[in-house]
Amino acid sequence: MRKKILAVLLVIGMVTGILLGCSTGTEEKSKGDDKQETSSKKEGYTIGCTVYYMTEFVTLMAEGMEKKADELGCDLVMLDAQQDAQNQITQIENLIAQKVDVIIVAAVDSDAILPAMEMCEDAGIPLVGVNMLFNTEEPYHYVGPNDVLAGELEMQNAINEIGGEGNVVILEGPIGQSAQIQRLEGNENVLDKYKGKI
């Protein structure tokens, strides 16, 4: 729970820092087919956010963002990509058309999100990745956990619970996200130490 709260605070801190370097945007947002929630502030920045889907963690993150946006007098457009990578790209295109000041992305897919980087750069809108890494060598803004370490910690805890030997089943999240890839790597790092026992 502490890690979840820390992640939310880091996202808000990163976005606030980016917004300080942006010009104020007060463009009115058009209504699209996407489900969206917008805070009622009339002044300040407009923050666009698209997430892979509304998990418990993402819901907590969204609540934290809404609260901070309200405190800062900003508009927040929160979109759920519903685990559809192409839908997420379309949402980003719509946010760019709405001329938001910054776009936050919890990517559906670490590769499929890459076109969004160029789209946002061409539009002059900062893009911030959150919780899921982008599969690129290009620099970009990012806030999130060390998922390899998280995978190691969760596997070690599971092995400790069964006394260091037995059978372990790994239930993975959505395939293709950096969290799935890196947490599995962390899981396997620990499993390698218990060959013949697990």
Domain annotation for the chain: domains and CATH numbers:
2-143 (3.40.50.2300), 147-194 (no CATH)
Q: Give whole-number Cα distances, 33 to 80, 88, 94, 115, 147, in Å.
A: 12, 13, 10, 22, 34
User: CA-to-CA distance for 135 and 126, rounded, in angstroms?
Assistant: 18
Crossing angle of helices 56-72/2-20, nearest 10°? 40
CB 56 within 8 A of CB 84: no
Q: Report the pLDDT value the prediction gives residue 43, as an integer from 0 to 100.
A: 61
Q: Report the pLDDT value the prediction gives residue 22, as an integer from 0 to 100.
A: 42
Q: Report the pLDDT value the prediction gives residue 134, as an integer from 0 to 100.
A: 94
| CA count, 13 A, side-chain hemisphere, 37 | 12
Q: Report the pLDDT value the prediction gives residue 153, as an integer from 0 to 100.
A: 97
Q: Report the pLDDT value the prediction gives residue 2, as an integer from 0 to 100.
A: 40
Q: Report the pLDDT value the prediction gives residue 179, as an integer from 0 to 100.
A: 85
Helices within the chain (DSSP H only): 2-20, 56-72, 85-97, 114-123, 147-161, 178-191
Q: Report the pLDDT value the prediction gives residue 89, as an integer from 0 to 100.
A: 98
CB 27 within 8 A of CB 99: yes
Sign of the torsion angle spanned by Cα atoms 10, 11, 16, 22? positive
Q: What is the pLDDT of residues 39-54, one digit of tens each?
A: 444 468 999 999 999 9
pLDDT digit string (tens) for the chain, length 198 residues: 444 433 443 445 554 444 444 433 333 333 444 444 444 444 689 999 999 999 998 999 999 999 999 999 999 999 999 999 999 999 999 999 999 999 999 999 989 999 999 999 999 999 999 988 999 999 999 999 899 999 999 999 999 999 999 999 999 877 878 888 999 999 999 999 999 899
